[in-house]
Amino acid sequence: MAVLRVSANSNPSATAGAIANGIRHQGLARIDVIGPRAVNQAVKAIAIARSYVAAGGIDLYCTPSFASIFVQDQGEEKTAIRFEIRSRHGMCGSAEGSDAVGMANT
Amino acid sequence: MAVLRVSANSNPSATAGAIANGIRHQGLARIDVIGPRAVNQAVKAIAIARSYVAAGGIDLYCTPSFASIFVQDQGEEKTAIRFEIRSRHGMCGSAEGSDAVGMANT
């Protein structure tokens, strides 16, 4: 699985590319982030990644949760937000359940 | 649909309760947020809401996207992050399958 680390200074578009890549090749990606600004960058990256993969008929979703991760630099455990990002394809028995997606309803 | 506004000072647990309520009664909830700290509070609220509804066998997921919203106080349009939050239950149903959409990838 693609496990990405996103910081407050990460470029959302670049992260989005990595997410899209993880989704296309492995069907999922994970992002661990610490701190409000890093969470914000991760969310923007996921929103952008959704548009990247939408052209291929893929609809991304994410499930945020809390996780303890060990931060090497600081030598301690910290509470991170973990985003598991998946494609709605494959969630249902038939592959089509998720194909009814991709409309912009704005 | 429950549309929630979350600010940098919102209490994630209280917001989580509102999300869980929206999911239980309407099957979905929406959060519009502006700014990194508000995004962070919203994500924490979604993570907490997942644990609230998990006891009932519901698994929440969210789809973040960009949205333009009009901010009354400031009299102008701003770019917000919009979280559409849904239960994975019903995603495969015929009626729900197509309803479980909401991505604005423009």
Q: Is A74 on the interface with B (CB under 8 A)?
A: no
pLDDT digits (tens, 9 = 90+) for A36-63: 999 999 999 999 999 999 988 999 999 9
Distance from CA of B41 to the nearest CA of A (A): 8
Distance from CA of A93 to the nearest CA of B (A): 8
Strand partners, A82: A32, A65
Q: ipTM score of the complex?
A: 0.81
Nearest partner of A69 among A31, A20, A15, judged by Cα: A31
The pTM is what?
0.82
pLDDT digits (tens, 9 = 90+) for B15-58: 999 999 999 999 899 999 999 999 999 999 999 999 999 988 99
pLDDT of residue A89: 66
Burial class (CB within 10 angstroms; exposed 0-12, middle 13-18, buried 19+) of A89: buried
Please give the single-letter amino acid code of residue A105: N
